[in-house]
Structure 1
Amino acid sequence: MGVVNVVLFLSFVSCISPQAWNTYDYMKREHSLVKPYQGVGTSIPYWDFLGSTMVTSNYVRLTGDIQSQRGAIWNKVPLSVRNWEMQIHFKVHGRGKDLFGDGFAFWYVKEPMQTGDVFGSRDFFTGLAIIADTYSNHNGVHNHGHPYISAMVNNGTLHYDHDRDGTHTQLSGCVAKFRNLDHDTFLSIKYVHDTLTVSVDIDNKMAYKDCFTVNGVFLPTGYYFGVSAATGDLSDAHDIVSLKLYDLTTPDDDILEDRANIMPSALYMEPPRDHVDDPKPSSLSVWKQLVLLVFGVCAICGAVFIGGLFYVKHKEQQRKRFY
């Protein structure tokens, strides 16, 4: 009977369609962050923290709505999965109505746990960054709105140009108005068979909407996940509610090549362009400019008045010649 049962089971499994394989049932716990967060004391299993990060019962706050903060959370376990999806439940909110910033970034990089100037993490990184930029500085030649989500692949040699929103080195990007919403907001980063797809769920419809898709993206295994955020002169609160990593490997996948030692690259990444500085603003303060304006107006009026006096005197001299 035991042999018969095994044969029947194998026959049943062989009849299952590949489309029926539900990869979303396989969440990788060691790469995921879900409530309740607390482990022993204030620590969370598999995760480390940096900077201003604060853990509460409902969210992990990377920065508060306070100027000049940097915070990050980093996974301790290197990724061995070739095809994956990270779903981020997040919230960005603050008191600013027209001016706010700076934003947050999702990382899959070789060098975790390092602070820097790129949304709280290091520049010249090695790996993948998905950047959610909320600060509209109106610099550069781009004409997109904000908040703006973009992707960058780096081999450790490229500089993220914050003043140009990274548009000199991005793979692609889209505008996503995720800030100060009353409902839940989600970001999905999916990497399957060298294709990167970024989607958002920010319309309270419980469905992801494509932001962009880029083919020909080559990422190694063995790197680390993280999320960081930063504020500057402007600020926002950047909260992470959950991070869920799914293994998208399916039974019908062929044996995949070893990706442990390849260098991150992309076939269609925009080449770095020369940095073009914006016109230098006037060094004069508003009050000095106002004083100069008033002085200029007075000088013009004085010149007109003096010219009028000379004109009247000239006319009087002409009349005297006829008498």
Structure 2
Amino acid sequence: AIWFTTAQGLDGPVYGAADNWNGIGIFFDSFDNDGKKNNPAVLVVGNNGKLVYDHPNDGTTQALGTCLRDFRNKPYPVRAKITYYKKTLTVLINNGFTPDKEDYEFCTKVDNMIIPQEGYFGISAATGGLADDHDVLSFLTFRLTEPGQELVTRFLSYTSQSW
């Protein structure tokens, strides 16, 4: 799962992370818990901190966007390109059948998506009765701006303490 939440992640039952998160989760679900043959799938689930994840239905009752994508055991790394711009979240998937890193297919789009203005990115995973293996090879973030607009940069300050 890939997360953007208002609080740092904690361990829990939702793909290895805590339930009742405030933000968004993009889930790569490789096991068909409900037996409806609707997995492996990619799901987008938003939460205001009050939603309890619907495990028996693989989250499909809460998904704002979803697509069926077999992302397991491919000859090349499977890639996800997740873009949030002007309240629209778009998920594209590179299927892992080609070494072309830019060969993406549309997965899902969520319009009028409101996410926290500030938060934490996270990656988590968990397994149930079926063991699985997923490797995160890289995680990159970029800021999008409209052409002609300057990027406003915020500087973070911190104090280093020697022990």
Normalised by the shorter chain, which TM-score bucket? Answer: 0.7 to 0.9
Amino acid paired to 1:229: A
Give, in whole Å, the separation in 2 of the partners of 1:157 and 1:113.
16
Name stretches of at least 5 consecutive residues in structure 2 with no aligned partner. Answer: 153-163
Quote the residue 2:59 is aligned against. 166
1:218-263 deviations in Å (ceiling 9; x for gaps)? 112210000000012211112110001111113435999xxxxxxx
Give, in whole Å, the separation in 2 of the partners of 1:213 and 1:127.
16
1:92-150 deviations in Å (ceiling 9; x for gaps)? xxxxxxxxxxxxx00000121301000000101000100000111235xxx55311001
Pairwise CA RMSD of aligned residues? 2.0
Quote the residue 2:39 is aligned against. 146
TM-score by length of 2: 0.84
1:108-147 equivalent positions in 2, closer than 5 A: 108-139=4-35, 143=36, 145-147=38-40
Deviation larger for 177-186 or 123-132:
177-186
| Number of residue equivalences | 149
Amino acid paired to 1:163: P
Question: SS of 1:116's equivalent?
Answer: strand
Question: SS of 1:152's equivalent?
Answer: strand
Quote the residue 1:175 is aligned against. 68
Give, in whole Å, the separation in 2 of the partners of 1:144 and 1:174.
13
2:30–2:39 CA contact under 8 A, matched in 1: yes
Give, in whole Å, the separation in 2 of the partners of 1:194 and 1:255.
18
Question: SS of 1:158's equivalent?
Answer: coil
Question: SS of 2:56's equivalent?
Answer: helix
1:147-200 deviations in Å (ceiling 9; x for gaps)? 100101110011111110111111010011110112121011110000000010
Change beyond 3 A, Cα 1:170–1:254: farther
Question: Is residue 2:90 matched to residue 1:197?
Answer: yes
Name stretches of at least 5 consecutive residues in structure 1 with no aligned partner. Answer: 1-104, 257-323
1:232-311 equivalent positions in 2, closer than 5 A: 232-253=128-149
Amino acid paired to 1:134: S
Give, in whole Å, the separation in 2 of the partners of 1:254 and 1:153.
30
Which has more helix, going by share of residues?
A: 1
Larger radius of gyration: 1
Q: Shift of residue 201 of structure 1?
A: 0.2
TM-score by length of 1: 0.44
Per chain length, whose mean CA-contact separation is higher, i.e. which structure has more relative contact order (CA < 8 Å, sep 6+)? 1
Give, in whole Å, the separation in 1 of the partners of 2:40 and 2:50.
26
1:10-159 equivalent positions in 2, closer than 5 A: 105-139=1-35, 143=36, 145-159=38-52
Change beyond 3 A, Cα 1:251–1:241: same
